[in-house]
A and B are shown apart, each in its own frame.
Chain A
Amino acid sequence: MIDRQARLAALARHPEFRRGAREMVGVALGIGAWGLVTGVAMIKSGIGLPMALTMSLLVFAGSAQLAAVPMIASGAPVWVVWATALCLNLRFVVFSAQWRPYLKHLPKAQRARMMFFAADLNFVLFMRRFPEPKPAPEQLPYFWGGVAVNACAWHLMSLLGITLGQRVPEAWGLGFAGTVALLTMVLAMLAERALWLPAMVAATAAVAAYALPLKLNVMVAIAAAVAVGSVQDHLRSAQAKATR
């Protein structure tokens, strides 16, 4: 126990822990606003305080929670709620493929613990900080620094939302802050020009296919991005060969 505490303290004192936390503070406002809106949505849906708290603590996935809450409230079949969350969370499967080279040397329990907390923004900031896919000792403190800020902002604001409930007017549209936070992340990723066209196509596909059930539009958009990106790569290498 003392050993564990000493290790945690050493982790928190690491300069990379502070760096991870600091970089996350820049987007924590968006996370917090999103958490607040999710908390309000959960309690307003009438699923009750214990369920809202359980969901907030165990699920820890804003977009899936926001989509699931009205479905649970309206009594949708359980499998429909699960399938919808699965489609929305499909992006995490893609992220996990990119997390793998950084984490595969760690014990399984530790990997699972880290991935429970690995939300969208943790992924984007981590990949920006460590573009090269190989493990390094400073990665763990950086990761947990970001998690500390991200999870605190999320849970505190989600609890606040659950407590305030009706007193946060829906008309303010505060969830938009969360949308802008994710958008900012995408803009940061778009520094790589090869991503422009696939990203544009994915956005258009997600909107065009929105009427599909179970949030399948997210799956369509991911497939479109991968397809357009692959074709683009193919054309570029063909062109390179032709000019040589």
Chain B
Amino acid sequence: MSSGEALLTILGLAFITLLTRVFFVWPERELPLPTWLREGLRYAPAGALLAVVAPDIVLTQGRLISSWLDPRLAGTLVAMLVYLWRRDMLSTIVAGTAAMLVCRLGLGW
């Protein structure tokens, strides 16, 4: 890809990101949505975030991980337990990442 093409791609990405973020915020008038969709949409944010997260946890190069001894599984488990225990975001992130690093670098999983 030439640098002109790369720049075009990047400008397009910036535009797409802004477009999706302002989509319903921008119009002056209410965009008509069917009632079922308006009500159903409240389930979407948690689902959408998990859709981004879940493949990063259980897939490697598009394949399901084949062993329970995976640093990311351990990190996820520790993060969930710490969250249930402390309900605090910083300690959850630190504990989950630390558990992943210990398993990966310390135990060589």
How many Å lie between the Cα of A211 and that of B62 in the bound state?
7
B107 interface hit (Cβ, 8 Å): no
How many Å lie between the Cα of A204 and that of B47 in the bound state?
10
How many Å lie between the Cα of A50 and that of B7 in the bound state?
10
Tell me the count of chain B residues lying within 8 A, CB to CB, of chain A: 67
Chain B contacts for A99, CB-based, 8 A: 24-25
CB 8 Å contact bits of A177-220 with B (1 = contact, 0 = none): 10111111111111000110011011111110011000001100
Given contacts A112-B26, A210-B59, are A222 and B17 in contact (CB under 8 A)?
Answer: no
Q: Which of B6, B37, B71 contacts A173 (CB 8 A)?
A: B71
Q: Are A54 and B13 in contact (CB under 8 A)?
A: no
Chain A contacts for B22, CB-based, 8 A: 96, 111-112, 115
8 Å CB interface, A80-104 against B: 81-82, 85-86, 88-100, 103-104
Given contacts A51-B3, A78-B12, A189-B46, 18 further A-B contacts (CB under 8 A): A65-B13, A81-B9, A82-B16, A85-B17, A115-B21, A115-B22, A171-B104, A175-B56, A176-B75, A176-B97, A179-B57, A180-B79, A182-B52, A185-B89, A198-B47, A202-B50, A207-B54, A227-B40
